Amino acid sequence: MEKQVFFAVALSVAAAGFGSIYSSRAETPPENASPIYGVTLPEGYRDWTFIAPAQEAPPLDELRVVLANDIAVNAYRTKTLPFPDGSILVKLAYKRRQSTEFPPATVPGAATTVQVMVKDSKKYTGSHGWGFGRFVDGKPVDAAQHETCLSCHEGNVKDHDFVFTRYAP
């Protein structure tokens, strides 16, 4: 019995392995990739470098933190624009919550969305080199929401390579 379970698990792990090799060769979009852009949540992003906090007024009423990978951090520190290929920016968002331990303080409440921008100037020729992804509970949201990303970033921050966040000292 235990052996059978073991074989079943081993088989499904092997199948998953072959599946991912096959899909990367066939260039089908990876699982949980955003519509339109095919962006996925980057591995290990929670440990990336802090760039700046932000706060969103009601009705969203959120706290945000923008993190970046090494390529993007280097571009920030050397004031390099446009951001080079391989740059990735991640924005974590949380509901604002009053601290129960110290009422004047605001602390992160429920996590709401994780948003990602990936720079690949060859792949994303129609969006100034940026691919976008918005995730809720690790899953990408629908195409309609992804259709809004470019116009707001394009309309407001085209002089800063379509990126709002500046490096906080």
Per CB under 6 A, residues contacting ligand HEC are 54, 56, 64, 66, 89, 91, 115-117, 132-134, 145-146, 148-149, 152-153, 163-165
Q: How far is the CB of 23 from ligand HEC (least distance, A)?
A: 23
Q: How far is the CB of 90 from ligand HEC (least distance, A)?
A: 6
Partners of 118 in beta bridges: 88, 131
Q: How far is the CB of 11 from ligand HEC (least distance, A)?
A: 37
**Residue 125 DSSP label:** G
Residue 40 or 165: which CB sits closer to ligand HEC? 165
Q: How far is the CB of 3 from ligand HEC (least distance, A)?
A: 47
Residue 73 or 91: which CB sits closer to ligand HEC? 91
Provide the token pair at 155.
């309309």
Residue 17 or 30: which CB sits closer to ligand HEC? 30
Sequence-distant (≥ 6) Cβ neighbours of residue 90 within 8 angstroms: 42, 45, 48, 66, 67, 68, 114, 115, 116
Residue 55 or 98: which CB sits closer to ligand HEC? 55
Partners of 131 in beta bridges: 118
